[in-house]
Amino acid sequence: MLEPSTLLFFVAASLLLILAPGPDIIFLISQGMSRGPAAGLRTALGLAGGNLVHTLGATLGISVVFRTSALAFQALKLVGVAYLLYLAWKTAREARGPVATRPPAGAGPRSLFWRGFLMNVLNPKVALFFLAFLPQFVSREAGPVWLQMLAYGVLFTLLVVVVFGAFGLFSGTLGGWVGRGAGGRAAACVRWGVVGVYAALAARLAVVQR
């Protein structure tokens, strides 16, 4: 059974980490601002889903490979960089086209979820974070270690859903106000801003080291 005091400390530490500005939040806000509240929420759910994958990786010991193998770390990192550059290229194509009030055809509910999911899963630093963070709260006296890590990982993911969901809804609402107040030109500027975000995230990930 998880100790109440440890659980409270875990929740407090997790919230501070989740609220800290980082690539996931920047990515989430860019999606909400450019595509609306529903898009922001779906992206948040995708990012949270990626956390579950990293939780399982840490629990099963799979993520250790990214700590011990430079090749595995670099391979996953390069796939992540390529994916972000692909999103930048795709969004640039949309931004050059006519401004519409609805998201483009390639940005449906499933697409937005998978964007968030892959953004998280393809970042090896997130895998290493879970591998280092979750064991700090595990106690052998509290039961099976793997079960505790799984429970803490699921709890972390639920907190991500709440916090990122709020960010996604707020940024989407804000983006709608900006679009209505300034018209199509503002919407186009937001789109090009998203292109810049993707490119910056790709550059940041490219220089990440273990």
Run of H or E including 11: helix 4-19
Q: Is there a domain that residue 158 lies in? A: yes
Q: Is there a domain that residue 67 lies in? A: yes
Among 89, 127, 112, 124, smallest CA distance to 209 is for 124
Cβ density class 161-188: b for 16+ within 10 Å, e for less: bebbbebbbebbeebbeebeeeeeebbb
Q: Is there a domain that residue 1 lies in? A: no
Q: Is there a domain that residue 90 lies in? A: yes
Q: Is there a domain that residue 46 lies in? A: yes
Q: Distance (Å, rounded) from C-alpha 126 to C-alpha 148?
A: 19
Report in angstroms the alpha-carbon separations of 162 from 65, 150, 165, 179, 195: 30, 19, 5, 26, 26
Residue numbers of the domain that contains 34: 23-94+104-206
Q: Is there a domain that residue 18 lies in? A: no
Number of structural domains (the chain) is 1
Walk along the chain (210 residues) and give the pLDDT tens digit of each residue: 678 889 999 999 999 999 998 889 999 999 998 889 999 999 999 999 999 999 999 999 888 898 889 999 999 999 999 999 998 998 888 777 655 444 544 456 788 999 999 999 999 999 999 999 999 999 888 889 899 999 999 999 999 999 999 999 999 998 878 766 555 566 677 778 888 888 999 998 998 887
Q: Is there a domain that residue 114 lies in? A: yes
pTM, entire model: 0.84
Q: Distance (Å, rounded) from C-alpha 58 to C-alpha 60?
A: 6
